[in-house]
Structure 1
Amino acid sequence: MSEPALPDGVERRSFDGTERLATRGEAVYGEPTDGDWRAWNPRRSKLGAMLELGMETGLAGGETVLYLGAASGTTVSHVADFAGPTYAVEFAARPARDLLEAADSRPRLFPLLADARKPETYAHVVESDVDVVVQDVATRGQARVALENRRFLADDGRLLLAVKARSENVARDPAAVFEDVRHELADGYDLLECRRLDGYHVDHEAIVARPR
């Protein structure tokens, strides 16, 4: 069975003799570059790890994206290199300053200093019928964040969620945490694929889902 195709604008290219995922854009976090191309480090990006693992993200290139937990722009800058309008929500002021710098050379990247747990605070900015919601937030209640932001997704859209077990409960078995998150998500989503990101990110699970 062949792996899913990479989105348009994402390629496998050689950097220092090693084949890696890459997008075209200005470097953001000291990643290797080759001309206009920059390497996408899956150990610093949950979405990058999902693509490396061949998960069916549904990303094809050109989508409208809502990115929750953009931090300083490591992953969302790659997304904005190949996607359409990309709304990047980040709550903390310090990483948001770096995010603004990443957006300087990316006209499709729109940073929003806001709390992903309170989508009503950016609902007036983010367009409806978003194609993809990417969620990477370090907080308790990660399933609830995904459910609250479901309002933005098109009927055939996709949720790409990176669940951080230690943010939910540092003392519990991560497998039990992931099971609880999947169960809660089922209130508003059909789960299409779930995979542990071990090898790239410890105690993380990636979930691909669609709104029901």
Structure 2
Amino acid sequence: MGFGISKITDGVYSVGNSIATQNLAPGKSVYGEQLFKYGGKEYRFWDPSRSKVGAAIKKGMANMAFGSGSKILYLGAAEGTTISHMSDIVGADGVIFGVDISARSMRKFIYLCEERPNIVPILADANSPMTYKEQLGGFTIDAIVQDVSQKNQAEILMRNCHAYLKAGGFAYLSLKVRSISSTDPVAVVVEEEAKKLEKEFEITEIINLEPYEKDHAMIVGKRK
């Protein structure tokens, strides 16, 4: 490589104008992303246009409450693009529980889990968090990422936080504004959704995800 690599935060690296994670499954690309080696280790470029968490990091998200050994609940796993990078970040001592209601997405997601033993696939409705209590195995959850694009996005996050998030843990609401209102200004919707969380969370930052995601924001909160 013709340029260096520097650490942004635990498990995430800056490489030129890009970001990357150290590959937990060397030789394996998840969604066509480029792999590269540096200092005897293999890394994966993280495409922020394919991942809202990646977009938030690229836009300077300051509160990264997940690192080596973290226990993460991810709502809206889909086929696991973002979760694969978070799997790299939490490492072999961490675990990510990926919840999705789509059986079709889950079939593809399970293939990823077979290569990454720190990911637990859960076919369930994130609106009903108690239905997957047993799958979480009694783990204390350090952070929850809510990436389910429904009108009640904030409520889904709150339900899961009430059930599983530790005191002082962080919540990440990946807000798709147009799932809530097709006409209201983005800033108005984001402010209203953030207010829903304020009773139980200290809102630490709100990040507009453009140009990587149109009409999206990442709302980050620390549980009181």
CA distance in 1, matches of 2:191, 2:19: 32
* SS of aligned partner of 1:104: helix
Does residue 77 of structure 1 match 2:79?
A: no
Does residue 171 of structure 1 match 2:170?
A: no
Q: Which runs of 5+ in 1 are unaligned?
A: none
Q: Which residue of 1 aligns with 2:67?
A: 60
For 1:164, the aligned partner's letter is K
- 1:23 to partner: Cα distance: 3.1
CA distance in 2, matches of 1:201, 1:57: 19
Deviation larger for 122-131 or 41-50: 122-131
Percent identity between matched residues is 34
* SS of aligned partner of 1:192: strand
Does residue 148 of structure 1 match 2:148?
A: no
Q: Which residue of 2 aligns with 1:47?
A: 53
Q: Which residue of 2 aligns with 1:23?
A: 22
- Please give the residue correspondences for 1:105-120 in structure 2 after superposition, counting only pairs within 5 Å: 105-120=115-130
CA contact (8 A) 1:57 1:160 kept: no
- 1:128 to partner: Cα distance: 4.4
CA RMSD, 1 decimal: 1.6
Q: Which residue of 1 aligns with 2:35?
A: 33
CA distance in 1, matches of 2:9, 2:164: 22
Q: Give per-residue Cα distances to partners, 1:153-207, cap 9 Å, x unaligned.
A: 1112111111000111223222221111111111321111111111111101111
CA distance in 1, matches of 2:11, 2:207: 24
Q: Which residue of 2 aligns with 1:101?
A: 111
Which of the numbers 131, 146, 150 marks the counterpart of 1:135?
Answer: 146
CA distance in 2, matches of 1:130, 1:97: 25
* SS of aligned partner of 1:120: helix
* SS of aligned partner of 1:137: coil
CA distance in 1, matches of 2:169, 2:19: 27
Q: Give per-residue Cα distances to partners, 1:114-135, cap 9 Å, x unaligned.
A: 1111101112222342111111
Which of the numbers 3, 13, 16 marks the counterpart of 2:15?
Answer: 13
Does residue 185 of structure 1 match 2:197?
A: yes
Q: Which residue of 1 aligns with 2:219?
A: 207
Does residue 90 of structure 1 match 2:96?
A: no
Does residue 125 of structure 1 match 2:135?
A: yes
Q: Give per-residue Cα distances to partners, 1:54-103, cap 9 Å, x unaligned.
A: 21222333210000111000001111122111100011111111111111
CA contact (8 A) 1:42 1:200 kept: yes
Q: Which runs of 5+ in 2 are unaligned?
A: 1-6
TM norm structure 1: 0.90
* SS of aligned partner of 1:115: coil
* SS of aligned partner of 1:200: coil
- 1:7 to partner: Cα distance: 3.8
CA distance in 2, matches of 1:128, 1:74: 23
Divergent runs of 4+, >4 A: none
Does residue 160 of structure 1 match 2:167?
A: no
TM norm structure 2: 0.85
